[in-house]
């Protein structure tokens, strides 16, 4: 990565009318541990440095009518076993598992309780993935603990947050010039950038991927950092970046943050977790993420 300020982990905020049901799905069916509970928002861990924040839509920054123009891909070595398990659980599928010979990647797309797209994906040994495969091969998987419906042998080693743009060159300039990320994979209609040890961002040409373009998106992309001031200074110094507020703000007493808007209106939140009681597990996991990325 060329970023001048550190990114510890990736996160994405998803918004729900039924937060309890969403939490049950991610923690029990998918086996993702609940690592922080703020009441209106709950954080689960998908991979070593990849998180999802489940938010009560009535208390977040977005409106329920906005389009779910995002797909989170869970990169796994147990792709076939995940498909067998989730279909047996009755999880609805948007796209079934149909592997192709010599494909650069295989996968399927499940739906969460609110209809967000969840892609379970494996990147294969292929010329397209030459830069990506050594990174993925070096990553440990996060496996579920006991006491959940999800079998303990089903792991996730990384996530890709797929975002959908009309203007791909402009989106790539945001990732490269503004955020300082480096291109790893070019699929033609989609590209992949690494932003944290197990977190990747994938801009996709709207209409060619799983979603059409949407002006308003029911998602917030979050980058977790230990230097929110450096990121604020970097982005606020640019004339081509619009910020939600002209200062770093505090969410309760737990998170220092600011929000920027990318060229097509996605919300990007930069977060630093403070040392509070509710953040103890997050602090521990972020310390582990530093070691993964070392």
Predicted confidence (pLDDT) per residue in 65-74, tens digit: 999 999 999 9
Section 108-122 average pLDDT: 99
CATH classification at residue 224: 3.10.180.10
pLDDT (mean) for 173-201: 97
Mean pLDDT across 106-122: 99
pLDDT reported for residue 240: 94
Alpha-carbon distance 81 to 2, whole Å? 36
Residue 150: what pLDDT? Answer: 98
Over the stretch 143-158, which tens digit does the pLDDT of each residue have?
A: 999 989 999 999 999 9
Residue 169 scores a pLDDT above 70: yes
Return mean pLDDT, the chain.
Answer: 96
CB atoms under 10 Å from CB of 263, counted, come to 16
Residue 44 in any domain: the answer is: yes
Q: How many Å apart are CA 201 and CA 240, to the nearest integer?
A: 20
Print the domain residue range for 259: 9-293
Least confident of 4-18, 22-36, 161-175: 4-18
233 domain-assigned: yes
Let me know if residue 188 belongs to a domain.
yes
Model pTM score: 0.96
2, part of any domain: no
Number of folded domains in the chain?
1
Position 263 in a domain: yes
**4 in any annotated domain:** no
Query: Residue 65 has what pLDDT?
Result: 97
5 has pLDDT over 70: no
* E-only strand ranges, the chain: 9-16, 34-37, 41-47, 50-56, 70-75, 93-95, 105-111, 117-123, 158-165, 183-186, 191-194, 199-205, 220-224, 242-243, 249-251, 255-261, 267-273
* Structure-derived torsion over alpha carbons of residues 21, 24, 30, 32, reported in degrees to the nearest 10: 120
Confidence of residue 292 (pLDDT cuts 50, 70, 90): low
**CA dist 252 → 40, 222, 281, 283 (Å):** 11, 17, 17, 17
pLDDT greater than 90 at residue 180: yes
Whether 68 is in a domain gets the answer yes
pLDDT band at 252; cut points 50, 70, 90: confident
């Amino acid at each position: 990565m060329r970023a001048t300020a550190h990114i510890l982990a990736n996160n994405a905020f998803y918004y729900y009318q039924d937060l309890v049901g969403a939490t049950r799905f991610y923690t029990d069916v998918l086996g993702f541990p609940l690592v922080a509970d703020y009441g209106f928002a709950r954080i689960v861990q998908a991979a070593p440095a990849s998180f999802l924040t489940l938010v009560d839509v009535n208390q977040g920054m977005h409106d329920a009518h906005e389009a779910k123009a995002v797909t989170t891909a869970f990169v796994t070595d147990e792709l076939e076993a995940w498909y067998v398990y989730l279909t047996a659980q009755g999880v609805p599928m948007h796209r079934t598992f149909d592997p192709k010979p010599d494909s650069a990647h295989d996968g399927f797309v499940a739906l969460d309780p609110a209809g967000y797209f969840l892609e379970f994906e494996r990147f294969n040994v292929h010329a397209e993935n030459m830069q990506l495969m050594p990174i993925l091969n070096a990553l440990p998987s996060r496996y579920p603990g006991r006491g959940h419906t999800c079998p303990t042998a089903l792991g996730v080693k990384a996530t890709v947050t797929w975002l959908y743009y009309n203007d791909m060159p402009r989106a790539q300039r945001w990732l490269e010039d503004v955020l300082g990320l480096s291109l790893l994979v070019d699929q033609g209609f989609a590209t992949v950038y690494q932003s944290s040890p197990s977190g990747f961002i994938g801009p996709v040409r709207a209409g060619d991927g799983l979603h059409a373009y949407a002006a308003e998106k029911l998602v917030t992309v979050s980058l977790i950092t230990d230097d929110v001031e450096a990121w604020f200074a970097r982005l606020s110094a640019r004339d081509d970046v619009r910020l939600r507020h002209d200062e770093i703000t505090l969410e309760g007493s737990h998170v220092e943050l600011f929000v920027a808007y990318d060229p097509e209106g996605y919300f990007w939140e930069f977060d630093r977790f403070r040392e509070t009681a509710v953040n103890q597990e997050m602090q521990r996991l972020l310390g582990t993420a530093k070691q993964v990325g070392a």
